[in-house]
Amino acid sequence: MPKDQPTIDLSPKVSDEVRKTTCYMCACRCGINVHMKDGEVAYIEGNKDHPVNKGVLCAKGSAGIMQVNAPSRLRAPLKRVGPRGSGEFEEISWDEALEIATDWLAPIRKDDPSKLAFFTGRDQSQSFTSFFAQNFGTPNYAAHGGFCSVNMAAAGIYTMGGAFWEFGQPDWDHTKLFVLFGVAEDHDSNPIKMGIGKIKARGARVVGVNPIRTGYNAVADDWFGITPGTDGLLILSIVHCLMKAGRIDLDYLARFTNAPCFVNGDEKSPEFGLLLRDDAGKELVMDRAAGKLTPFDQKGVKPDLSATYRHAGVTHRTVMHHMAERYLQDEYTPEAVADRVGIPAPRIRALAAEIARTAFEEAFELDQEWTDFRGETHKTMTGRPVSFHSMRGISAHANGFQTCRALHVLQIILGTVEVPGGFRFKPPYPKPATAHPKPHCGVTPAAPLDGPHLGFVHGPDDLALKEDGTPARIDKAFTWENPMSAHGLMHMVISNAHAGDPYKIDTLFMYMANMSWNSSMNTRGVIDMLTDQDEEGEYVIPRIIYSDAYSSEMVAYADLILPDTTYLERHDCISLLDRPICEADAAADAIRWPVIEPDRDVRGFQSVLCDLGARLGLPGFTNEDGSQKYADYGDYIVNHQRKPGIGPLAGWRMSDKGLTNGRGDVNEGQLDSYINNGGFWVGHIPDEALYYKPWNSAYQDWAVELGLFDSPQPYLFSLYVEPMRRFQLAAEGHGDRQPPEHLRARILETMDPLPIWYDPAPDNRAEAYPITALTQRPMAMYHSWGSQNAWLRQLHGHNPLYVPTNLMRLHGLTDGDWARVISPHGEITVPVLEMAALNPNTVWTWNAIGKRKGAWALDEDAPEATRGFLLNHLIHELLPPKGDGLRWSNSDPITGQAAWFDLKVRIEKADAPAESQPSLAPIKSPVGKGPSKLSWKVGK
Amino acid sequence: MHPAPSVIFFTVFSGIGFGLLFFLGLGIPAVTGWTAFAFFVIAYLCAVGGLISSTFHLGHPERALKAFTQWRSSWLSREGWCAVIALILMGLYGAGLVFFGQHWGLIGFLGSVFSVLTVFTTSMIYTQLKTIPRWNTPLTPAMFMSFSLSGGALLAGQTTWAMVLIAIAAAIQIVLWMQGDGALAGSGTDLATATGLGTGGSVRAFEPPHTGTNYLLKEFAYTVGRKHSQKLRIISIGLFAVLPVVLLLLPFSHFIALLAVASHVAGALAARWLFFAEAEHVVGLYYGKR
Amino acid sequence: MTTLPQTTERKLGLVIDLDTCVGCHACVISCKGWNTENYGAPLSDTDAYGGDPSGTFLNRVHSYEVQPEAGAAQLIHFPKSCLHCEDAPCVTVCPTGASYKRVEDGIVLVNETDCIGCGLCAWACPYGAREMDAVEKVMKKCTLCVDRIYNENLPEEDREPACVRTCPAGARHFGDFADPDSNVSKLTAERGGMELMPEQGTKPVNRYLPPRPKDTIETDQIDILAPYLAPVAEEATGFLGWLDKTLEKL
Ligand SMILES: Nc1nc2c(c(=O)[nH]1)N[C@H]1C(S)=C(S)[C@@H](COP(=O)(O)OP(=O)(O)OC[C@H]3O[C@@H](n4cnc5c(=O)[nH]c(N)nc54)[C@H](O)[C@@H]3O)O[C@H]1N2
Ligand SMILES: Nc1nc2c(c(=O)[nH]1)N[C@H]1C(S)=C(S)[C@@H](COP(=O)(O)OP(=O)(O)OC[C@H]3O[C@@H](n4cnc5c(=O)[nH]c(N)nc54)[C@H](O)[C@@H]3O)O[C@H]1N2
Ligand code: SF4
Ligand code: SF4
Ligand code: SF4
Ligand code: SF4
Ligand code: SF4
Ligand SMILES: [Mo]
């Protein structure tokens, strides 16, 4: 070493101990190594052994240490002392808090459990919270899926028994063309980044379809800057091109989908448009070999796609016939759709051709034998290396369900679902809609609900309606307004409760949802509903209980606050019963455990529910002697059994022969086994079961053995979704359960069993408000949580409105100017920034950066509050009046999914205001403020 | 560049101080005793005051001695050495003049040389920076030295020298300004070379890496409006050159001389403010600030 | 020492793939986390929860738009940290010798106990790779995680920079540019790894892989692709005829 070069310590001690748990800076749930020094968190990195992230970590994950140190953490239970919304609270003991809650809830349960609405937002313990709600007996339970991406989930499950979202993934190892529709980040955050990195390193092509070219779309080899809301049209045009050229996988369609099934063609029949079935209810196909009708699943059957079946003077045709008839029409040619989708016809053709080329010319075989559900053994697995992924960009529109369906139909006709190189499900999927529960709403005072709240309807009979036909649920889920609302409609709860429509409630109990701010449409209006009082001065929504971990905007609007811990201070369970962390080739679940103890008087929310459930005497939460059944959530995770042998965690269960996985008895040491294994468990799928899962006997047997199903559940993909037709039939006048008159036409029009496209723009008054306004998630921020994080808020401390170059010029704007953005519902004034790589009729901003003054322990002059803003002020839960005397909901008519991205606006240059508008009055911080300087090292 | 007051004061006053020392070292004016003392006090106040003010700019002034170690490569280190040598030599020389009535010509001469060298090394700290094309020119040392010497001449009461040197300084300053305005563009460094993305088309900075500010933006992204800068240039020329020369042309009085000095110093401060404030550091390109 | 070594035994540095970087800022924050806890003074933040938050980071992710002559504008995410230049002007300007380039691996470091916080090195760096810490008042810069890459307390596989280990997209690569067979040398050769501001003469060690050509699906390939969409029949009925025929062959 040269003499004037200092000697440095190249091997400093990194930490005293590494504790491995699961990240919760977002819902991706990566594995983390928490490095501890002197008992404190010193540094967080990714866990290399973890199935989700394999060592990598996003910005939020690495910044977890600042979340755990954030000054915004709630410190103790709070009782409201000032008016709602003031932020004035008094700290109380847990005993007092739980007594108050019990005093409020016990009488409700005794008289009418539906007076409690329990909605749990960004919940990762839904199988547990729904268990609580079911035990309580209220039908009014759901989590956040309704305003999030239920279109994506429901369309996938109804069509193919699984969805994108985080429930499936492209075959990153084999795919050669990856087409991404409308994704900025998604729940599978790190896996998508890893996947894109991996396939780009191989030189595979990435195509991004998105009005905005940032992030994944920026690295895409080809960008299609589509007009928002028109993806369905683009996709169906590609379907047109592929069908016309015969570039579809006929063998796959015949074997694995309902393309060869017969659609009842008898116009006079109450079953017109339903599929022909045998007496056992099995779909019938024409067997090419035998030339006769046969149930689809018989051994050796070769379903004929092009068959017709004449019976009693009526010709029944296959789904394939119906598809050809529809999609070969000229209305779907690229030339016919180009203007509307904003992409030139030759480019659409080029994309279709590239898809066709890759799927069929680059097809390959994996040398892996497998046996299908008909008993036929295949020597190899055929790869079609085209894969798709999509999320809210197509689902958060009022035509989102059908658009998501269209995309699935596209992948299915290419034969690229569950094959090498294509899209793959992650356990517990594939799981067809028929294998899911149906919604339940049977209320009995002082008793549990008659079954699970949420599920999949298969026709009008399954709707959650009362005897008199009125909605059984406060959010009007599973009603004629949105029959297939599989995730509930959390975004309608506050407005319905306020309006007393369909009925009044007594207590609104929420968990982990910032409903007075970024998760609501019409934020100001929601605030008014939460604070509205009747003539007697009582709040219209009488009681609000809320659990948050931080001083969010919503805290100020609750009467009782149950402060949660941070994610490093509690037990959590990422369960196969819920939203697990499986990969396409493995089942996996995980836990969080208290790697540090809280330094405040806070408790894990689930543990609080264990206590509250016992105080209320809920059967699932009390022993026979009336004592508390689960000491805390950790106790529940280990000891609860849904069914004999099936508990929240699948790993390290107990059998006669010792430890086992999947089905098994309770193992008291289970959590320790998880901790010793890095916080997670993985069970690999055998090689012969890795693809073709819905039809692969080896997979089906594996799934049964693991406890995902009780018996094999092979099924056909539903190009044609029969339940939708059942709703149409009702709208045509068939059956006892009839839709209200004003909804008939809409049901007929929108609930087409084959994907269609309709334009949501006119309902949003596009003629006067011609620009679409969108939001995107910043990769480094999680909704509203990021701003309390001293590191992350430096990256995104405020959010300009990005305006395309042409509109900047048109309105005489330059960077740093301010613009008024006006929607049919409201107006905001915000700073603008120019962006060239943007659809010319689209403006956008980062989601949930704007903050209310006084929240999150930030100073009142924080840029989040002075320059940041929410687009939500411009979005309303109802569409602008149409003049028909009705107010239609701003959501998908099929699922009720909130149509965030249908927002239409116009913009004009504005004088720079002192701060972005509207600027709401500050709320009082229940936690004080943070320190000004941060400079420390743990353990020094 | 952020026009830090400490650095503006430092460069202007130490420049003038060493300028005066330069003349004193050459025996101009040939003073001794208390008159010499007065001159030297003024020179030292300026030079040392400037140097001290420059330490305000340091994060760890208590470690300032370490700055003497790297004279082989660092102009800042060399400046330190030159300043100390100049001050010691001139201290000796001044002591001779004040206390012993002795004119140690060789020491004075060497002191003058090191005084000039000090100003030169100071200027080289800026000149050497390729990152700031406006400074990266031989005109920068020329400007620093001409300012130093004209200020020195003024304080030394060398009216003629002062007028000539001021004119030279003004000329250099004007050329430096004009040339400086095109320096970044002419430097060959632009957003295309900064990002390497130029081959794909025209490059534009989009979202910055952080919405808040940081050290780089505070230090390097300072900009002055064109109009503002034109105005200040005129004011500064007026103050450091035109007015002093006019005043010096008037019949001599101590008051007028003082006024000329004050005007010159004020103008020099303004010019130096502009020197920093107008300097575009290439790092600004990354932030789309150029 | 302020003079630069003539040569270094190894030339450690990063390759950053602009074709793959999705701009997620993961590298920014993992760098902040590691370096707050490790080498030298912590990376501080001022007005952390206030109106003007500002802090020290050693790695920042910019973004640029490129407008080609024809076709859609492109967006490129652009991470930037110290490039560990061979001719590092930040080193030679340093008056105290606090800034130096290590002879064994070429890593440019600041010896914080010698740094007087004059800022000159940051002035000399064309890349904005140095930030003065507002609380500690010393110059901070990327250390290339010198306290990770040789750290015997870390498992072998973790002996790489924090930013590289964390990058979800795999857009960051670490290695020895002096070794022509290293991953970084190969990537640089294969993908035309470029220097930033070569005209500044700093000879940066880190290289950037340029984005691959974009939006070529239509222009470059249409002739090849067109046949894939040749219709099997014009009429819907013709389609069904084709279907029948094709099915026969299955
Ligand atoms: N304009 C616009 N609005 C949108 C969207 C959009 O794209 N554009 N997206 C919508 C979608 S998809 C969603 S999912 C919603 C999300 O909106 P929200 O569900 O409101 O999401 P968050 O901001 O994550 O807030 C959840 C709350 O959980 C709290 N929290 C965080 N960690 C914990 C914890 O450990 N325990 C407890 N008890 N609480 C915790 C936070 O402090 C915060 O108050 O936003 C919706 N709103
Ligand atoms: N970092 C981070 N990760 C998150 C979250 C977060 O807040 N931060 N939130 C989580 C949650 S709750 C959710 S729901 C997921 C959502 O993940 P994403 O689905 O990625 O959600 P968004 O960010 O809303 O992105 C929607 C994308 O769709 C595009 N888009 C909008 N309209 C259209 C359209 O009509 N057509 C097409 N093709 N594209 C369109 C938008 O430009 C945007 O890029 O992310 C999850 N992951
Ligand atoms: S994606 Fe990031 S925030 Fe989400 S779980 Fe993974 S590391 Fe944590
Ligand atoms: S972590 Fe990787 S992908 Fe993310 S910004 Fe850094 S280099 Fe880019
Ligand atoms: S990038 Fe800047 S700080 Fe790093 S070695 Fe080069 S000049 Fe020095
Ligand atoms: S700030 Fe420190 S490292 Fe930089 S030049 Fe000055 S003394 Fe050297
Ligand atoms: S190498 Fe280390 S210090 Fe340098 S940018 Fe990466 S994480 Fe930061
Ligand atoms: Mo969501």
User: What is the full DSSP assignment across A618-634?
Assistant: -GGGB-TTSSBS-SSHH
How close does chain B come to C76, measured CA to CA in Å?
Answer: 9
pLDDT at residue number A1: 43
> Which residue from A20, A35, A10, A31 is spatially nearest to A937, judged by alpha carbons?
A35
Distance of alpha carbon A64 from alpha carbon A30, whole angstroms: 12
| Position A860 pLDDT exceeds 60 | yes
Query: CA gyration radius for chain C?
Result: 24
Provide DSSP, A262-274: EEP--TTSTTTTS
Question: Which residue ranges form the domains of chain C, and what is each CATH number?
Answer: 12-209 (3.30.70.20), 219-249 (no CATH)
pLDDT at residue number C224: 77
Query: CA gyration radius for chain B?
Result: 21
Q: Which two tokens stand for residue A229?
A: 């809301």
Distance of alpha carbon A617 from alpha carbon A623, whole angstroms: 9
Report CB contact under 8 Å: A795, C28.
Answer: yes
Q: What does each C-alpha distance from C127 to A312, A832, B168, C120 come to in angstroms?
A: 81, 28, 36, 14
Binding site membership of C21 for ligand 4 (Cβ less than 6 Å): yes
**Beta strands A116-119 and A141-142: pairing type?**
parallel
Provide DSSP, B255-276: HHHHHHHHHHHHHHHHHHHHHH
Kindly report, as residue ranges, where domains of CATH 3.40.228.10 are found in chain A.
163-428
Mean pLDDT of chain C: 95
pLDDT at residue number C220: 67
pLDDT at residue number A3: 52
Of the listed ranges A28-32, A46-50, A296-300, A751-755, the one predicted with least confidence = A296-300
Distance of alpha carbon A224 from alpha carbon A210, whole angstroms: 6
| Chain A hits for C102, Cβ within 8 Å | 5
Q: Which residue do the tokens 């006053």 mark?
A: B13
| Chain C hits for A245, Cβ within 8 Å | 228-232
pLDDT band of A165, cuts 50, 70, 90? confident
Is A558:A542 a contact under the CB 8 Å cutoff?
A: no
Count other Cβ atoms within 10 Å, centred on residue B231: 11
How confident is the model over C169-173, as a mean pLDDT? 98
Q: pLDDT tens-digit profile of A494-537?
A: 999 999 999 999 999 999 999 999 999 999 999 999 999 999 99
- List the CATH code of the domain at A78-147+435-563: 3.40.50.740
Q: What is the value of pTM for the model shown?
A: 0.97
**Beta strands A543-547 and A507-511: pairing type?**
parallel
* Range A297-321 burial, b when 16+ CB lie within 10 A, else e: beeebbbbbbbebeeeeeebbbbbb
Helix, strand or coil, per DSSP, at residue B280: coil
Measure A396 CA to ligand 8 centroid, in angstroms: 10
Report CB contact under 8 Å: C111, A6.
Answer: yes
For chain A, list residues whose CB is within 8 angstroms of any CB belonging to chain B.
Answer: 793-798, 833, 835-836, 863
Q: pLDDT tens-digit profile of B140-150?
A: 999 999 999 99
- List the CATH code of the domain at A163-428: 3.40.228.10
Q: To test ligand 4's pocket by mutation, which of C172, C206, C207, C209 has the most ligand atoms within 8 angstroms of CB?
A: C172
Mean pLDDT of chain B: 95
pLDDT band of A883, cuts 50, 70, 90? confident
* Range B192-213 burial, b when 16+ CB lie within 10 A, else e: bbbbbbeebbebbbbbbbbbbb
| Residue of C229, C235, C244 best to disrupt the A interface, most CBs of A under 10 A | C229
Count other Cβ atoms within 10 Å, centred on residue A446: 13
Q: Which residue do the tokens 């008839």 mark?
A: A325
Count other Cβ atoms within 10 Å, centred on residue A710: 11
Residues 6+ apart with CB under 8 A from A254: A260, A302, A303, A304, A305, C247, C250
Measure A149 CA to ligand 8 centroid, in angstroms: 6
Q: pLDDT tens-digit profile of A603-646?
A: 999 999 999 999 999 999 999 999 999 999 999 999 999 999 99
Q: pLDDT tens-digit profile of C27-52?
A: 999 999 999 999 999 999 999 999 99
Distance of alpha carbon A629 from alpha carbon A611, whole angstroms: 9
* Range B27-42 burial, b when 16+ CB lie within 10 A, else e: ebeebeeeebbebbeb
| Position A778 pLDDT exceeds 50 | yes
Of ligand 6's atoms, which has the minimum distance to the CA of residue C120?
5
How close does chain A come to C226, measured CA to CA in Å?
Answer: 7
Conformational region of residue A281, where left means phi above 0, alpha means psi within -120 to 50, and beta covers everything else:
left
Report CB contact under 8 Å: C137, B59.
Answer: yes
* Range A641-662 burial, b when 16+ CB lie within 10 A, else e: eeeebbbbbbbbbbeeeeebbb
Residues 6+ apart with CB under 8 A from A25: A58, A60, A61, A63, A64, A67, A567, A782, A785
> Which residue from C120, C118, C63 is spatially nearest to B132, judged by alpha carbons?
C120
Q: Which two tokens stand for residue B286?
A: 């990354």
| Chain B hits for C68, Cβ within 8 Å | 200-201
Q: pLDDT tens-digit profile of C86-144?
A: 999 999 999 999 999 999 999 999 999 999 999 999 999 999 999 999 999 999 999 99
Percent of chain B with pLDDT over 90: 90
pLDDT at residue number C221: 65
Q: Which residue do the tokens 């002035």 mark?
A: C123
Report CB contact under 8 Å: B210, A794.
Answer: yes
Provide DSSP, A407-434: HHHHHHHTT-BSSTTSEEE-TT----GG
Q: Which CATH architecture has domain A762-910?
A: Beta Barrel (2.40)
pLDDT at residue number B51: 87
Of the listed ranges A142-151, A226-235, A542-551, A677-686, the one predicted with least confidence = A142-151
Q: Which residue has the higher pLDDT, C24 or B252?
A: C24
Distance of alpha carbon A850 from alpha carbon A843, whole angstroms: 17
Distance of alpha carbon B238 from alpha carbon B166, whole angstroms: 11
Report CB contact under 8 Å: B211, A796.
Answer: yes
pLDDT at residue number B290: 73
Q: pLDDT tens-digit profile of A655-705?
A: 999 999 999 999 999 999 999 999 999 999 999 999 999 999 999 999 999
Q: pLDDT tens-digit profile of A239-285?
A: 999 999 999 999 999 999 999 999 999 999 999 999 999 999 999 99
Count other Cβ atoms within 10 Å, centred on residue A836: 20
Neighbours of chain B (3+ CB pairs under 8 A): A, C
Distance of alpha carbon A318 from alpha carbon B93, whole angstroms: 111
Percent of chain A with pLDDT over 90: 96
pLDDT at residue number A495: 94
Mean pLDDT of chain A: 96
> Which of C38, C222, C228 is closest, CB to CB, to A346?
C222
Report CB contact under 8 Å: B209, A795.
Answer: yes
How close does chain A come to B204, measured CA to CA in Å?
Answer: 9
Distance of alpha carbon A106 from alpha carbon A91, whole angstroms: 23
pLDDT band of B4, cuts 50, 70, 90? very high
Distance of alpha carbon A175 from alpha carbon A411, whole angstroms: 13
Distance of alpha carbon A843 from alpha carbon A30, whole angstroms: 32
Is A103:A96 a contact under the CB 8 Å cutoff?
A: no
Kindly report, as residue ranges, where domains of CATH 2.40.40.20 are found in chain A.
762-910
Q: Which residues pair with A417 in a beta bridge?
A: A423
Distance of alpha carbon A254 from alpha carbon A275, whole angstroms: 15
Kindly report, as residue ranges, where domains of CATH 3.40.50.740 are found in chain A.
78-147+435-563
Sign of CA dihedral A196, A199, A203, A207: negative
> Which of A797, A835, A836 is closest, CB to CB, to B212?
A797
How confident is the model over B35-53, as a mean pLDDT? 93
